[in-house]
Amino acid sequence: MTTAAATAGTAHPPPRPYQHYVYAYPHKTAYRKLPDSPLLGDLWAGESRQALSLYAHIPFCEVRCGFCNLFTRIGAPDGLTGRYLDALERQAVAVREALGDAEPVRFANAAFGGGTPTYLEAAELERLCDIAERHMGADLRVIPLSVEASPATATADRLTVLAERGTTRLSLGVQSFVEAEARAAVRPQRRSDVEAALSRVRDTGVPVLNIDLIYGIDGQTAATWRLSLDAALAWRPEEIYLYPLYVRPLTGLGRHADPAVADRDWDEARLRRYREGRDHLLARGYEQVSMRMFRRADAPPQGPDDYACQTDGMIGLGCGARSYTSTLHYSFDYAVDMREIRGIIDDYTATEDFGRAVHGREVDEDEARRRHLLQSLLQARGLPVADYRRRFGSDPYADFPEELERLASRGWLVESGDGLLRLSAEGLAHSDAIGPCFFSPAVRAAMAAYEAK
């Protein structure tokens, strides 16, 4: 270890391990209302259309889990899902018109998320697929298509539609096979219902089944965590995601949380469960893709992992979806509180003109560097330094000397001889602390100034 590295490690004690899940950068709480509401046609002018990602957001759930801070509401009264799909179709038409025909529009992958896309009835899922294919031009039977589901909504008729329309990956949010833990997370469900849903998914023949599990639930022990892991492994899922429990403001758990709960003891308990889960999966033929994602060694590939689209554009449809160009990330307003979410959904369904970007954040070259590094470094395979140099004409060590030196001083960074900058096993374990280290001062300030609603 260099003297500088040792000094950095002494001057900066290890940060708390659970800060932010960096699945996208900049975070949506750094977005603001765009004063000029730019035309989508202007935003996409000159952008590559050769490998776009398509994401459709369905903001409905049958129940809102206590840990959930996603943009979603419980139920959809008075034909709201139909009106929502009407608006989604209007948006798709406007976006496709903005993309134009000067260059062929090609999609590399697609995903339906939420919320719970399978909250939609079978006929509505057919319509959602039609919108993606007929209006956006995404051939769902050719490209990878990932869909999120819950056990209660993974019914045979819905799953049949998804399988017939080309779904290659179905992600089931199980969270825990222990009924007491599910209740503690405000996710009441019977294990028998979960197992029945998994059986129905397997019957469809969808190539990739993913099971989501959560660690850190109140009352969870090493034994009950192992029970959930083994129950999931019994289905030989191609992928398993292990999520740490977060208690977020304005969520079901957050409203009743004692601030003292979120302390070092809980951090250590979650780290123990993470390491137990990681080691258990690695010993049973799974490969680690990121802190959260584990893939069976013989599973078919599904395209970019963890939305690692460092360079390609994203088209987001729906009021909670993001869209990415090379210089602007944009979406609609964001909220967690149920009343605010209902208002945003109502505004979205009433919108007639989707030709402009409403909320977003500009991405300059410094932010692009940070995003590229984060979305590569937080993957187990690491950052190919040559790719970074080729794109930006600079070296990551020159651009982020203090941050990388600090990671190295903690033993969280490994530079191999094959030109990859990678996190060590403990570095991956601390991904949710490493990510925020690379947030720009401007993004930090915007996130800090955001008023939760």
Kindly report, residue by residue over 205-264, the tens digit of the pLDDT: 999 999 999 999 989 999 999 999 999 999 999 999 999 998 644 344 443 445 555 578
Q: Does residue 346 register a pLDDT over 50? A: yes
**pLDDT band with cut points at 50, 70 and 90 for residue 6:** very low
CB 341 within 8 A of CB 335: yes
Q: Does residue 128 register a pLDDT over 60? A: yes
Q: Does residue 172 register a pLDDT over 60? A: yes
Kindly report, residue by residue over 347-401, the tens digit of the pLDDT: 999 999 999 999 999 999 999 999 999 999 999 999 999 999 999 999 999 999 9
Euclidean distance between CA atoms 71 and 68, whole angstroms = 9
Q: How many C-beta neighbours within 10 Å does residue 293 have?
A: 18
Sign for the CA dihedral angle at 295, 293, 207, 109 comes to negative
Non-local (6+) Cβ contacts of 26 within 8 A are: 329, 361, 363, 367, 371, 439, 440, 443, 446
